[in-house]
Structure 1
C-alpha cells in the first residue's frame, strides 16, 4: 500500500469514526426521531452513508451501472426497529469499500452512471472517489453531531476523547 493510499484511507476512517461516535448508545426510537426542522434523522443519515459506501464500492469495482438504490429518494429515511442491524450494515459497507480501494490503483479511471443531475458523466479516478467519500462522510458527521446534540445534549467531539 502506498503512503498516499494509506493517508487517504486513514482520513476516511477518521471521518467514519467521528460519524460512528454520534451513534453511540442510541436506541431505534432515538435514531428515528426528528430533532430539527429538517427531515433528517440519525438513522436516516446512517442509512444514507451506508448506501453511499455501497454505491461507490459498486462503481469503483466496475459492477453494472447504476448501483442499486442510487436513484432512490428515500435514502435519508430509516424507520426500522433494529438499529444494531443498521450499524452492522454500515460497518460491513465500510469494510467492503476499504477492501476495494486497497486493491485498486488510485489513478484508475472508472465509468460513472448517468443520473438526473449529470446525464453524461466523465470517468472518475479511484482517488477522487475516496476524496468524495471523505467529504461526504465529514459533511454528514457534522449533520449527525447537530442532530445528536439536539436530541440529548451529547457532544460528539468531546466523546471522541472518552
Structure 2
C-alpha cells in the first residue's frame, strides 16, 4: 500500500479575541493550510521540485517550517538546547536540498511534533518575553515571533499553492 499525506481539517480564526488567542489562531490556520496542501499526495509527489534551478518542493517546505518552529519557538524564545533538524552550518539548506532519500511520512510527523513542542515551549511565556536569537545578535520578543511565523507560513503557503497546482492541478484558498 502506498503512503499518502493525511487529510487535514482547517478552521477559521475568531473575528473577536484577545491578542494571544488571535495570533495563535492565525498561526494554526497557516500551519494547517500547509498540511492541507500536502494532503492526499504520495511521498514522491511531495518531493517533486517546481522548476530548475529551484530546490523548493512541498516536502522541503514541510521540513523548512519544522526547522523554523524549532528555531524560533523552542531554541530562541524557549531557550531549549537543541540541534536543528535538517540544516547545519555546513549545510544551511538541507531542509530543501536533502529530500532525495527523505521519508515523507516521518518528516510530516516531525512537523506535527515540532508544532506541539513549539506551542508547549512558549505556552507560559508572555508576548513581551524577550530573548536573543542564537544566530544573530538582536533582541526579539515573542510577539514578533508569532507575527514572523504567520508571515513565514503565509509566504510559503503561496509557494505551496503553485507546487500543488503543478503536481495535480488542485487549487484552493
Are positions 1:125 and 2:141 aligned together?
yes
Residue matched to 2:93: 73
1:63 aligns with: 80
Among residues 93, 108, 114, which one is paired with 1:87 in the alignment?
Answer: 108
Higher relative contact order (CA 8 A, sep 6+): 1
Q: Distance in 2 between matches of 1:82 and 1:46?
A: 12
> Aligned Cα RMSD in Å?
1.9
Equivalent residue pairs, number: 150
CA distance in 1, matches of 2:70, 2:169: 31
Q: Does 1:104 align with 2:125?
A: yes
TM (norm. structure 1) is 0.84
5+ long unaligned stretches in structure 1: 116-120, 158-162
CA distance in 1, matches of 2:116, 2:29: 14
Q: Which residue of 2 aligns with 1:24?
A: 39
Which of 25, 47, 57 aligns to 2:63? It is 47
The CA distance in 1 between the partners of 2:115 and 2:146, in whole Å, is 12
What's the TM-score, normalizing by structure 2? 0.79
